[in-house]
Amino acid sequence: MTQTMKNIVVISLNAVGHVNGCRGATIDSLISRGHRVYFLLEKAFEGQLRPYGFEEIIYEVSNDRNEPTKKPGEQMANDLLSYKILGKMTVEEKLRQMLKYFVKSDTFLSYYQQVEISLKRLMRQIQIDLFIIDDVYIHPAIYYSNIPVIKCITSAPFIFFASDPALPPPFTGLPSNADPDEMNKCRQMLADMMKKNAFADYIEKLGYEKYPDDQRELEKRIAFNIYAYPKELNHWKIESAHPRWFNLEVFNRNIQYDTIDLEELVGQDFYHNDLDGKFSGKWIYVSMGSMGSVDLELMQRLTLILAKTQHKYIISKGPRHDEYELPGKNMWGARFIPQIKILPLIDLVITHGGNNTVTETFAQGKPMIIMPLFCDQLDNGQRLVETGLGVCLEPYDFDEQQLLSSIDRLLMDKKLADKLYRASERIKKSEAHRLFGEKVEQLMNE
């Protein structure tokens, strides 16, 4: 525990993955060292971080229909459906729809307005020693203060290297050897998006001076960046950006193999069901995230195929859990699954490829199949393929046999299992969270 307690304020985008990532980054490294950590949270998350030792500062955001959000992750998931981001489309079509959402959605402006109000109030009430932000932009109340800032990147880090020709354009899933013309076209679309944003106008409406046009000037306000991406999956160009880019490898650690009683979770009947004597003995966890699970057609097709196998499945059903039934006697599901605690017990993971799920699965040494929907999920899927450490399938255009054979192959691949085990053991022994805490304290004491 430190001799001098500091006041640290954390702000993340109001999506499940972002909140959980920032939580994991700061529990072991800062709260456990005796600092007081305030977390600005959208009302849907109220009460979720207090048990971990955070001070919650609650605000409320309205969406594009001027309705308050009711459940964590549900609003953004519904927005993705309404903006037609989910579904079968080309790389360029998907990128175009994503950019339209991020540029035009009123939900984001409402978020910035409410956070600005909460920030100003909190800055009058306490002396803040540090901001940790997980956001595309720096809030003006923070930018124009003299308080140090650390950027916490809970997504895959590739979007912040969008202009670097050494990497494929982010949010596309394009391989490193893709057609150069296609990669350049996607890079230009991303560059145009960053120029056309409503945030610059919003800053002036609040009475602040407009931010510098040069992105490098804005980056000077950031002391350093933290992110989490296993070295085995990371790109050499990002890995070489250390120490300004500090890699935790996984935000939410489970180094003690803390688990849940699987029989208690799924019930005795399902746990002991031998599937008419055909149970393979393998348990598979399926999570398409709060975003993917709102697409009921996708979930129904996926579970119908998995019902044909002799493995058992634990399904994270998501916000619309009560709108569909699981079709197989080999599957059990719930709206929310304690992911961290079941991963050590699972043999394989099928996921949308959200960064927390990918890094947490990798940290537990489990093979995975990524079925990416949008944004950094596409980057994660491609990295899994290019490193030979897993499988990536198109969620809206995969062949049934392709999925089933991928499941069987990964379950039987002993060489891959050995690689994943060694990576897991290395990550569990990592001192990155402790070193991050020391680095933060050094910054606050300068």
Orientation of helix 355-363 relative to helix 414-428, angle to 10°: 100
Measure the CA–CA gap between 379 and 96, rounded to whole angstroms: 16
**Which pLDDT score is estimated for 46?**
93
- Tens digits of residue pLDDT in 227-282: 999 999 999 999 998 889 999 999 998 766 678 999 999 999 999 999 999 999 99
pLDDT at 226 > cutoff 50:
yes
Residue among 278, 287, 395 nearest 333 (CA): 287
Q: Is there a shared CATH topology between the 7-249+430-444 domain and the 262-428 domain?
A: yes
In CATH terms, the superfamily for domain 7-249+430-444 is Glycogen Phosphorylase B; (3.40.50.2000)
| Report field, pTM of the whole predicted structure over 0.85 | yes
* Higher pLDDT pick, 191 / 66: 191
**Which pLDDT score is estimated for 1?**
46
Q: What is the 3-state secondary structure (H, E, C) of 103-152?
A: HHCHHHHHHHHHHHHHHHHHHHHCCCCEEEEECCCCCHHHHCCCCCEEEE
Q: Are 14 and 111 in contact (CB under 8 A)?
A: yes
pLDDT at 75 > cutoff 80:
no
pLDDT band at 191 (very low <50, low <70, confident <90, very high): confident
pLDDT at 116 > cutoff 60:
yes
- Tens digits of residue pLDDT in 357-401: 999 999 999 999 999 998 899 999 999 999 999 999 999 999 999
**Which pLDDT score is estimated for 348?**
99
Report domain extents, the chain. Answer: 7-249+430-444, 262-428
Element (H, E) at 271: helix 268-272
**Which pLDDT score is estimated for 104?**
59
CA-based angle 151:60:34, to the nearest 5? 45
Under CATH, which number does the domain 262-428 receive? 3.40.50.2000
Measure the CA–CA gap between 201 and 210, rounded to whole angstroms: 8
Measure the CA–CA gap between 262 and 421, rounded to whole angstroms: 22
